[in-house]
Each structure stands twice: as structure tokens, then as C-alpha cells.
Amino acid sequence: KAWLKMDEEGACTAVSIEKHRLASMLRVPMRDLRMLEPNFSNSYSAAILCRERCIVLHLEQVRLLITAEEVYLQDGRNSSVTKYLPELQRRLLMRKLKLMDSHGEGSLRRALSIQRGGDAPRQEELPFELIALEVALEIVCNSLEAEQRETVTEAKAGLEGLRKKVNTNNLERVRRVKSRVTRLTGRVAKVREEIKRYLDDDSDMRDMYLTRRLLAELFGGAEARGGGMGGMGGEHQQTPGGGIDEDKDLQEVEDLLETYFTHIDSTFAELQALDEYIDDTEDFVNIELDSQRNQLIKLELVLTTATLFMTMYGVVASVFGMNVRNGAEDSKASFVVINVVCSVCTVLAFVLAVTYIRYKRIM
């Protein structure tokens, strides 16, 4: 299967290697490589796994195998990969220039060896694996932050429209935005929790420092073969094992993770605030709709009361309209008196009924 491989000097080459061979070479289980398959991206949306010789990383669309000297990527056509490779090459070039400046005309290989902790009294540059990890975290955090800003802009426009006018279009627009916010919050939370998991465990952070572990294996093996490295072997052996250097390694990893945890946590907080704003707007809209519904109920109550007394007026008219002689058929005065009295009684009864309803605070 085709992989892209970038070494610590920034050279990128395409290699064809079977999965089981790569797993054996890097000492990782096959299930870790399945994590990097595009078909399994939904199942493993956020995972950072430290193995014996590499870091298996899958955050969003960034899927990497990071060793102390190389990075393996599976899909060169992925948009995240096209962002990752140039940025990593740029960082490695900057490191190369700094190392060449600090070591004069010495070879770059020797400078890289010294940078890992061989002879330098002070390590100013991150090792290769942490640079690769930093670039991946930066791309993921920046991508999620960009999505968050775009979502916030769209959400605020939709919510303002809903506040001004509650209609089907605005409600549908806010519904889509809320679904998008929920999905994005879940993705950000997974990345945040994965970084936080390492920050809470010092041993896991030490495992990320692959260069130190590689040096421990190299110089430990040299000592077992009879000290073939001479005096330098003893010096390197204490570098990985010494408490001060381990604490320094741990601090470097912790500072790196803390920086991007703060970044992703800020994005997560913004999304939570947006979600609360959406909930508040929904509550406001519900209150406004409840108020309008109450006004309609009050109007319906008034109309129903008026209909009741108009019906009573109609009953009187029906009684006098029966084909029964009562002596008032030929009197115009009787017609006027009966209509005036019935009208006045109907109006008075309606006013009394409405007054009673308001007194009881029904309306």
C-alpha cells in the first residue's frame, strides 16, 4: 500500500509497504493502522496512541504515524495532508537553519544528533516527533476554530432574524445551525478530551518523547555489547535515565500539549456559549409565542361571551316571532321598547360578564 514518508530533514517520498510489515517495523498492532483508514474515520474521530516506536495520531482528518525520525501518511490527496506536509517541511527547515547556525560548518546529521541530547548542554529545539505532533495539533485546532467562527457568524444572523420575526424559514434556519453547533461541539470535545487525557498522566507524556527512548535503546545496547561507544556511551546513557533530563522532557511535552489544550478549550467554551445563546433565544421565542397565544385565548373568550349574550337576544326575538297572537303585533311602540330593552340588557350583561372575568383575573 502506498504511504507518504517524510524524514527529519523534510524530504518527502512515496513508499509502497504492506500494513503488516509496517506494523511489525513500528511495533504497533494492526488495529492502530485500521484507525488510519478513511473508512474508519467516523469510528475514531480523535485518538492519540503512544506505542513503543511511534505515535499513532488520528485527529479529525489528520492521520499520522510519527516516529523519532519519520512521519508516515496514508492519503496524499486529503486536504489536511496538503496543509500538513508544507507546514511540517517549513518547521523542519527552520530547525535545520537554526542547527546549522548554532554548529557552524558541521554536518547537519551531527547537529541533529547533538540536538537530541548527545553533547549539547542545553536543548533549545523540540525533537522531530514533537514538531510533527505540534504541526498536527495546530492544523486541527485552527481548523476547528475556523469552523467555530463561521458557525458563530451564521448562528447569530439566524437568531437575530428569528428574534425579529418568527416564521417557518427562520425556525428552519436556526434548527440547522443548532444541529451544526451540536455536531461541532462533539468533535471539539473529543479532541479536547484526548489532549486532556495526556496532560493528566505524566507517564503518557514521557512516552511521547520517542527520541529519548530511542537514545536509551541505542546506548543501552552499546553498553550491553561491551561499551563499544567508549566514553560517549556513558554520557548518553545518563541523558535518558537522569531525573533532570526526564523532567525537562516531560516539561517540553506538557508545555506543548498545554498550549493546544488552551486553544481547543477556548474553542469549546465559545461553542458552549453559543449553545447557551441559542437556548436563551429559543426560550425568548417560546415566551413570545406563549404571550401571543394567551392574547388569542383572551380574544376568543371575549368573542365567546359576546356570542352567548347575542344568542340570548336572539332567543327573545324568536319568542316574539312565533305565530301566536299576544296583542302587541300591531303596536310599533312595543317593537321599539322590546328591542331597546333587550339590547340594553344584552350590553349590560356582557359588560358585567367581562368585568367579572377581569376581577377573577381570568383575562
Tell me if 75 is assigned to some domain. no
Q: Are 134 and 225 found together in one domain? A: yes
Domain that holds residue 309: 292-359
Q: What is the pLDDT of residue 164?
A: 86
pLDDT digits (tens, 9 = 90+) for 108-142: 444 445 444 444 433 457 888 999 999 999 999 99
Q: Are 309 and 260 found together in one domain? A: no
Q: Are 331 and 193 found together in one domain? A: no
Least confident interval from 63-72, 201-210, 223-232, 243-252: 223-232
The pTM (predicted TM-score) of the whole model is: 0.74
Integer CA distances (angstroms), 237 to 38, 242, 275, in order: 41, 9, 53
Q: If pLDDT is split at 50, 70 and 90, which confidence band does 265 have?
A: very high
Q: If pLDDT is split at 50, 70 and 90, which confidence band does 327 have?
A: low
Q: If pLDDT is split at 50, 70 and 90, which confidence band does 102 have?
A: low
Tell me if 111 is assigned to some domain. yes
* Domains of the chain: total: 2
- Which segments of 61-213 are extended strands (E)? 62-66, 70-73
Tell me if 21 is assigned to some domain. no
Query: CA 75, CA 134: separation in Å to the nearest integer?
Result: 20
Q: If pLDDT is split at 50, 70 and 90, which confidence band does 238 have?
A: very low
Tell me if 344 is assigned to some domain. yes
Q: Are 223 and 183 found together in one domain? A: yes
Q: What is the pLDDT of residue 178?
A: 93
Query: CA 43, CA 46: separation in Å to the nearest integer?
Result: 9
77 or 167, higher pLDDT: 167
Q: Are 146 and 273 found together in one domain? A: yes
Q: Are 279 and 332 found together in one domain? A: no
- Any idea what the CATH number is for the domain that residue 187 is in? 1.20.58.340
Residue pair 151/184 in contact (Cβ under 8 Å)? The answer is yes
Q: Are 229 and 267 found together in one domain? A: yes
Q: Give the contacts of 12 (CB within 8 A, at least 6 positions apart).
A: 4, 5, 6, 85, 89
Tell me if 302 is assigned to some domain. yes
C-alpha cell read off for 37:
483508514
**Concatenated DSSP letters for 177-189?**
HHHHHHHHHHHHH
